[in-house]
């Protein structure tokens, strides 16, 4: 099967699914009480700010990032931040705190998709292309 005709949509597909992942990652921080409870138990002593404030800030930021990724606005910047979030998730909770890397396996996928989008850019169907393209 020839998939070449779909290549122009590669970045859009990455943006859409990475954006939805980051958006829902933020949404759960704002809505799941059990997540807030586990953050307090697991990370409360390590945080310099109140866990509830952290969850509000992180959740809101991730929702904004998800929307920007879906729209393709500041795509590379948001992809770099998403990759950094994934790496931090693998290292800090995965290796250092909980020492349960398989529990955070989703972060490997998120990081890989973010790095691919960082390299690829927003693509032809992005706001980046429409706003910032050189004439």
User: Which pLDDT value is given to residue 135?
Assistant: 54
User: Which pLDDT value is given to residue 58?
Assistant: 93
Q: Whose structure tokens read 């949509």? A: 9
- pTM for this one? 0.88
Domain regions of the chain by residue span: 11-122
Percent share of the chain, pLDDT over 70: 99
Tens digits of residue pLDDT in 8-18: 999 999 999 99
CA-to-CA distance for 58 and 36, rounded, in angstroms? 12
Show contacts of 106-115: CB within 8 Å, 24+ apart. 110/18, 110/21, 110/22, 110/25, 110/82, 110/85, 110/86, 111/82, 111/83, 111/86, 111/87, 113/14, 113/17, 113/18, 113/21, 113/82, 114/18, 114/79, 114/80, 114/82, 114/83, 114/86, 115/79, 115/83
Per-residue pLDDT for 99 more than 60? yes
User: Which pLDDT value is given to residue 120?
Assistant: 94
Mean pLDDT of the chain: 90
């Amino acid at each position: 099967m020839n998939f070449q005709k779909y290549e122009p949509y590669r970045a859009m597909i990455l943006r859409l699914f990475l954006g939805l992942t980051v958006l829902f990652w933020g949404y759960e921080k704002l809505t799941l009480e059990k997540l807030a409870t586990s953050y307090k138990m697991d990370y409360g002593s390590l945080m310099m700010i109140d866990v509830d404030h952290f969850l509000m800030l992180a959740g809101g930021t991730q929702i904004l990032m998800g929307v920007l990724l879906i729209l393709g606005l500041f795509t590379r910047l948001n992809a770099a931040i998403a990759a950094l979030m994934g790496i931090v998730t693998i290292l800090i909770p995965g290796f250092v705190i909980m020492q349960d890397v398989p529990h955070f396996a989703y972060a490997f996928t998120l990081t890989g998709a973010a790095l691919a989008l960082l390299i690829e850019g927003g693509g032809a169907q992005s706001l980046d292309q429409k706003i910032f393209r050189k004439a």
